[in-house]
Amino acid sequence: MQSENKPIIEVKNVSKFFDDKTALDNVNLSIRKGEFVTILGPSGCGKTTLLRLIAGFQTASEGTILINGKEITQTPPHKRPVNTVFQKYALFPHLNVYDNIAFGLKLKKMPKAEMTRKVMAALKMVGMTDYEYRDVNSLSGGQQQRVAIARAIVNEPEVLLLDEPLAALDLKMRKDMQMELKEMHKTLGITFVYVTHDQEEALTLSDTIVVMSEGKIQQTGTPTDIYNEPVNSFVADFIGESNILNGIMKKDRLVSFCGKDFECVDEGFGENVPVDVVIRPEDLYIFPASDKTKAQLRGVVQSCIFKGVHYEMVVLCDGYEFTVQDYHAFEAGKEVGLIVKPFDIHIMKKERICNAFEGRMKDETHVEFLGCEFECMHADMSDRSKDWEHVTVNVDFDKIELLDNAEDGILTGEVKFILYKGNHYHLTVLSDWDENVFVDTNDVWDDGDRVGISIRPEDIRVTFK
Ligand SMILES: Nc1ncnc2c1ncn2[C@@H]1O[C@H](COP(=O)(O)OP(=O)(O)OP(=O)(O)O)[C@@H](O)[C@H]1O
């Protein structure tokens, strides 16, 4: 389906707050007519909220939403040219398939013959011809979801909003339905806005993927763009498996990681600048160490599992683990060489190189930040020209201590996101003060773990604005 260039939905500077929780933070998005757009992100990132604002089930706290160039921020759902399919089928259990689909048309008092024609056409579209008199309770999950889709498209909306419509189905059914949805999108020619946390589903279905995290859009682009050119390590990690390592951009087209220099194609980062290096597992060429080919990295295979089409191996090279995919198996214990081509090394600007918090000095040895008072190294506060009420507190990622027993910390938080960087984990911990604390550690934590957070006085660096 070729999308026309005209935007059908425009989301402008939209934020949504629930009390002091920010579900959407200044979101801007333009969706073209006929496009299949997928909003992708981890649980709690705000995707459903964004869809509900477009549907009209909730209103934006700030910003505007336009459909067909008309502001509809305050328009009720039934007056918008959109229909929604939810994860839970939400069919009326006491009505049969026909009556479920015809429900909206009956409300509009549509003549019977026209209504029957439309319901039958919708049933045909979802591959359920001959099911019109079936009791919906006798249908499988997949069939119920087809009926729910038929009920949405029978109203001929300009936009179909789909909120994880396949999440409750088993894998086989999900794959079949994905193909059917893509066909339906082609045939109907209308705009689909699809919400999912499943990256494979997003890559398979979409013309455009919108990657979200923590209420913000991280990247918008075609599946190939997002896969090949992720803008940051979050997107790289979320879209498919990646090797993500700390590196130093030595100069244009030369990056160092894993203790070695590699040619790459990126320019303009400056000299000796810390960067994130991303290499897809399928872009690492693996061969026996005995080969004559000159290896860039040498290592030992730690594990090898069959993934259906290819093998996935973890190779340990100089203390760094690399995930490698290949059609040939290299068994655990085997010595191997690795090569990566310059254009397969993706360089990403680091969003930050240490934690930075706003704080204020309480006295010469105490500073307040993250909602708590921390002991710090002695500061001479006799200089009255300095603003002791507004200081910046820097703490290196590896100087934040996480504790199993949340009560043992100065403050507490929850592990939100874990990035493996080859030889350590980079964690995002959301403190109970609702600020992110970034932590480098070798300890293994899980998403959702409650942790105590502690920082030693000598690791707290206070600077003045
Ligand atoms: N009605 C509400 N009241 C309070 N907080 C809410 C409400 N709805 C959503 N939130 C919060 O807003 C944030 C975003 O929620 P949202 O449901 O949009 O996320 P999501 O990405 O769709 O996640 P999931 O995939 O788990 O549904 C979450 O932190 C959630 O707890």
Asked whether the beta carbons of 436 and 424 are under 8 A apart, the reply is no
Structure tokens at 195: 């919400």
Domain ranges of the chain: 7-236, 241-349, 355-464
* Whole-number Cα distances in Å, 343 to 263, 266, 267, 294: 9, 8, 12, 18
Alpha-carbon distance of 25 to 79, in angstroms, equals: 26
- For 221, phi and psi rounded to 5 degrees? 180, 180
Query: Is the CB of 53 within 6 Å of ligand 1?
Result: no
* Whole-number Cα distances in Å, 91 to 152, 153, 389: 11, 14, 58
Structure tokens at 243: 């090797």
Three-state secondary structure readout of 190-219:
CEEEEEECCHHHHHHHCCEEEEEECCEEEE
Beta-strand runs (E) in 341-386: 346-349, 355-363, 366-369, 372-375
C-alpha torsion sign, points 175, 180, 183, 185: negative
Q: Tell me which of 2-16, 319-333, 425-439 is least confident.
A: 2-16
- At 384 the three-state DSSP class reads coil
Query: Is the CB of 416 within 6 Å of ligand 1?
Result: no
> For residues 161 and 107, which has the higher predicted lDDT (pLDDT)?
161
Query: Is the CB of 44 within 6 Å of ligand 1?
Result: yes
Tell me whether the CATH fold assigned to 7-236 matches the one assigned to 241-349.
no
How many angstroms does the Cα of residue 165 sit away from the middle of ligand 1?
17
- For 316, phi and psi rounded to 5 degrees? -95, 115
Confidence of residue 4 (pLDDT cuts 50, 70, 90): low
Residue 3 has pLDDT above 70, yes or no: no
At the second CATH level, the architecture of 241-349 is: Beta Barrel (2.40)
How many angstroms does the Cα of residue 40 sit away from the middle of ligand 1?
14
Query: Is the CB of 41 within 6 Å of ligand 1?
Result: yes
Q: Which atom of ligand 1 is found nearest the CA of 215?
A: 14
* Whole-number Cα distances in Å, 388 to 62, 370, 374, 441: 34, 16, 15, 32
Query: Is the CB of 197 within 6 Å of ligand 1?
Result: yes
Q: What is the mean pLDDT of residues 189-193?
A: 94
Read off the pLDDT of residues 273-286 as tens digits, 9 standing for 90 and up: 999 998 999 999 99
pLDDT at position 2, please? Answer: 46
* Number of C-beta neighbours around residue 446 at 10 A: 7
Burial class (CB in 10 A: 0-12, 13-18, 19+), 193: buried
* Number of C-beta neighbours around residue 137 at 10 A: 10
Shortest CA distance to 280 belongs to which of 319, 329, 230? 230
Asked whether the beta carbons of 137 and 100 are under 8 A apart, the reply is no
How many angstroms does the Cα of residue 60 sit away from the middle of ligand 1?
14
Read off the pLDDT of residues 206-232 as tens digits, 9 standing for 90 and up: 999 999 998 999 999 998 888 888 888
Q: What is the mean pLDDT of residues 144-149?
A: 90
> For residues 216 and 240, which has the higher predicted lDDT (pLDDT)?
216
Confidence of residue 314 (pLDDT cuts 50, 70, 90): very high
Asked whether the beta carbons of 93 and 137 are under 8 A apart, the reply is yes
How many angstroms does the Cα of residue 326 sit away from the middle of ligand 1?
39
- Round to the nearest angstrom and report the end-to-end CA distance of the chain: 54
Tell me the residue type at 120.
M
Query: Is the CB of 18 within 6 Å of ligand 1?
Result: yes
Rounded to the nearest integer, the mean pLDDT of the chain is 91
Fold for 7-236, please state it: Rossmann fold (3.40.50)
Query: Is the CB of 42 within 6 Å of ligand 1?
Result: no
Tell me the residue type at 124.
K
pLDDT at position 398, please? Answer: 96
Largest CA distance in the chain: 88
Residue 315 has pLDDT above 80, yes or no: yes
In the numeric block, the tokens 């004559």 are attached to 292
> For residues 207 and 234, which has the higher predicted lDDT (pLDDT)?
207
How many angstroms does the Cα of residue 171 sit away from the middle of ligand 1?
25
Residue 369 has pLDDT above 90, yes or no: yes
Q: What is the mean pLDDT of residues 372-399?
A: 91
- For 155, phi and psi rounded to 5 degrees? -80, 0
Number of H helices, E strands in the chain: 8, 30
Residue nearest to atom 11 of ligand 1 (CA): 23
Which ipTM value was assigned to this complex?
0.95
pLDDT at position 141, please? Answer: 84
pLDDT at position 89, please? Answer: 62
Read off the pLDDT of residues 9-25 as tens digits, 9 standing for 90 and up: 999 999 999 988 899 99
pLDDT at position 318, please? Answer: 92
pLDDT at position 180, please? Answer: 87
How many angstroms does the Cα of residue 24 sit away from the middle of ligand 1?
9
Query: Is the CB of 43 within 6 Å of ligand 1?
Result: yes
At the second CATH level, the architecture of 355-464 is: Beta Barrel (2.40)
Q: Which atom of ligand 1 is found nearest the CA of 197?
A: 25
* Number of C-beta neighbours around residue 407 at 10 A: 8
In the numeric block, the tokens 């024609």 are attached to 117
Read off the pLDDT of residues 33-74 as tens digits, 9 standing for 90 and up: 999 999 999 888 999 999 999 999 999 999 999 999 999 888
> For residues 166 and 459, which has the higher predicted lDDT (pLDDT)?
459
Q: What is the mean pLDDT of residues 369-390?
A: 89
Shortest CA distance to 115 belongs to which of 100, 128, 136, 127? 100
Residue 88 has pLDDT above 80, yes or no: no
